[in-house]
Homo-oligomer: A and B are copies of this chain.
Amino acid sequence: MNSSRRQFLTTSALASAAAVSTTPARSEETAKAGTLELKQGATILLQGDSITDAGRDKTIAEPNHTKALGNGYARMIAYHLLSKYPEKELKLYNRGISGNKVPDLDGRWEKDCLELKPDILSIMIGVNDYWHTVAFGSKYEGTVESYGTGFKALLDRTREALPDTRIVICEPFVVRAADGSTRPDWFPEFDQRREKAREAAQASGALYVEFQQMFDAAVAAGYPHKELAGDDIHPSPHGHALMASRWLGDTGLA
C-alpha cells in the first residue's frame, strides 16, 4: 500500500472523503468536509459479530428498538444519532451475530444487508476469523489470505448491489496490556489480519475506524486493559462507549 494512501486512511484523516475522493485530503478542514452525511430517512446498518450483536433481541426486526440494537456500541451510536437528529427520521439496524466470520456474513448478506438497502453500512468482522482457527476445536481453516480475499469479495458484492452506500469498516481488535503480554500467540497473525481489513476498506473506498490503535492508545494512557475488555475481546460498557464516540467522531456524525 502506498504510504501517502495509508496516511490518508489513518484515524485522524479518516473523517475524509475516502469514498468519493481519489486524492488524499490536504488538511483537517478538507477531511471534515468529506465526512458522512445523514440523508432524510437514512437507513444505517451495523453489521458484525458478538461485539456488534451485544445480546440484541433477534426476534425484533424493526429499527431503532433498544433491545434489537443490543447492549453495546451499536445502540450507543444509534441513540446518539436518533437523539441529536430527530428530524432526520433515521432507521438504525443492528444485524451483528455472535460468532460470525466473513463467510457467515456472506451467507446471510442478501437478507441481512442488501435487502435493507442501507445508506450507511458499518461492518466489524475478523476476530472470529482468527479465533476459530485456534480455539473452539480449531475446526475453522481460514487463513490471513482467505480472510482478506473474502472480505474484499463481500465489499465488492456490496458495492455492486448498493453503489451509493457509504461503508465504514471497523478494525478488529484485541484489548491488550501495555506491555503486549496479552494473547501473545495471536500475534503477528492478528496484525496481518487487521492489515487485510484495512486493505479491503481501502479497495472499496470505505472509511476505516482504527479501533486497535484506539484501545492501544487508551491503555498506553493508563486505562487498565481488563476494565476495557475483561476477556480481551468483548468490551465493557466503557469500552463500548469509547468505540461509539470514536466511530461518531471519525465518521463526522458526532
Contacts and interface: CB of A to CB of B under 8 A. Distances in A.
Nearest to A12: B84
Interface in A28-69: 32, 64-66
A76 interface: yes
- In this complex, the interface size class of chain A, counting residues with CB under 8 Å from chain B, is 35 or more
Contacts of A224: 66
A241 B80 CA distance: 9
Contact of A65 (B66, B83, B222): B222
Contacts of A12: 84
Identical copies of this chain, number: 2
Contacts of A11: 84
17 contacts: A32-B32, A64-B222, A65-B222, A75-B238, A76-B241, A79-B218, A79-B223, A79-B238, A80-B245, A82-B222, A83-B215, A86-B221, A240-B241, A241-B244, A245-B245, A248-B248, A249-B254
